[in-house]
Amino acid sequence: MIPVAFDYQKATTVDEAISALSGGGKLLAGGHSLLPAIKLRLNQPEKLINITGISELKGIKEEDGEIVIGAATTHAEIMNNSLIKSKLSFFSKGAAMIGDVQVRNYGTIGGSLAHADPASDWTAMVLAADAAIEAQGNGGKRRIKATDFFTGLFSTALQDDEILTAIRIPEPPAGTKTVYVKFFQPASRFAIVGCAVFRTPDGKTNIAFTGVSSTPFRDTAAENIVSGKTLDEATINAASNVAAEEADILSDHYASEEYRKHLAKVYLKRALKAIA
């Protein structure tokens, strides 16, 4: 289909992008979520604001005990980054599971998180890593905990005048183990069920799911079973048995509610075995 007419602006600074957002503008980075929606007229912005040229939104660095990923950093850049490989290996491996080569080279982590697709891979990983989402608007900068960021189907805590600028992850202690596994739709490679696990040397374990519900979530019931305990067969089975029990499970033409719940249990067991 042909989209409705819109204006176009290429922003060179974050402040310029924020200013352009007033009046129905939409931010364009990789465009892999927004452009198909515009073509189908599911989204009809009055203006597209291209933010791909804003250098302050790009790059990966260590800062004040955190790993900081700029919102306009592509999936491929995260996948290939040496700092990410050494300290957040599931980010690197998870990025490699996203889409195809073209999507990984153009799609951005910030765009994916702001879009908040219920089957997005990054949502589970940032939740498991206890990340904070940095946003900037007319009122200045603020941090939003990942656990507070996703508010519903394609909905986030971002305000209309805010732009997602960075993802900040507390630097994991040495010996931390991470894994991301998923059962994916073979054409789009979106997660029908994705599970991320983050376990520190003291046994504290974060477990997050995507694809299971309309909103990605931390599975606290499963976390409580394995945190601080040895990951033996009995503990892993007990955690897997309660996986997604408290979630409102999606049902669609890809997977029924019953099948998704079954997959959540299977993939949590796989993830915990990989950690063990």
In sequence order, what are the beta bridge partners of 60? 69
What angle do the packed helices 233-242 and 257-275 form, to 10 degrees?
150
Question: Crossing angle of helices 121-128/89-96, nearest 10°?
Answer: 170
> Nearest to residue 69, comparing CAs of 38, 92, 51, 100?
92
Q: What is the pLDDT of residues 82-112, one digit of tens each?
A: 999 999 999 999 999 999 999 999 999 999 9
Give residue 207's identity as a one-letter amino acid code: I
DSSP for 204-241 reads: -EEEEEESSBSS-EE-HHHHHHHTTS---HHHHHHHHH
When the pLDDT of each residue in the chain is averaged and rounded to a whole number, the result is 95
Residue 216 has pLDDT above 80, yes or no: yes
- Is pLDDT at 135 greater than 90 in this prediction? yes
Between CA 60 and CA 166 the distance in angstroms is 9
Quick check: 182 and 191 in contact, CB under 8 A? yes
234-276 per-position pLDDT tens digit: 999 999 999 999 999 999 999 999 999 999 999 999 999 999 9
Give the CATH number of domain 7-50: 3.30.43.10
The domains of the chain are located at: 7-50, 55-170, 177-275
Count CB neighbours of 47 within 10 A: 16
| Confidence at residue 5, expressed as pLDDT on a 0 to 100 scale | 87
Q: Which residues contact 80 (CB under 8 A, 6 or more apart)?
A: 92
**What pLDDT does residue 30 have?**
82
**Quick one: pLDDT at residue 41?**
83
How would DSSP label each residue in 157-182? S--TT-EEEEEEEEPPPTT-EEEEEE
pLDDT score recorded for residue 9: 92
Cα 137 from Cα 97, distance rounded (Å): 32
- Quick one: pLDDT at residue 124? 98
Give the span between the Cα atoms of 35 and 18, in whole angstroms.
20
Q: How far is CA 243 from the centre of its chain?
A: 20
For a pLDDT cut of 70, what percent of the chain falls above it? 99
- For residues 272 and 276, what is the distance between their CA atoms, to the nearest angstrom? 6
Q: Which fold has domain 55-170?
A: 3.30.465
Fold match, 55-170 / 177-275 = no
- 113 vs 204: CA distance, rounded Å: 25
Q: What is the DSSP letter of 98?
A: S
Average pLDDT over residues 102-129: 96
Average pLDDT over residues 224-232: 97
pLDDT for residue 17: 94
pLDDT in tens, 1-57: 678 888 899 999 999 999 999 767 889 888 777 787 788 787 788 889 999 999 999
Q: pLDDT grade, residue 71 (50/70/90)?
A: very high
Residue 151: pLDDT band (50, 70, 90) is very high
Pick among 3.40.50.720, 3.30.390.50, 1.20.1090.10, 3.30.110.30: CATH of 177-275: 3.30.390.50
Angle at Cα 238 formed by Cα 270 and Cα 129, nearest 5°? 55
Q: What distances in angstroms separate CA 102 from CA 49, 50, 99, 224, one per listed residue?
A: 21, 18, 8, 39
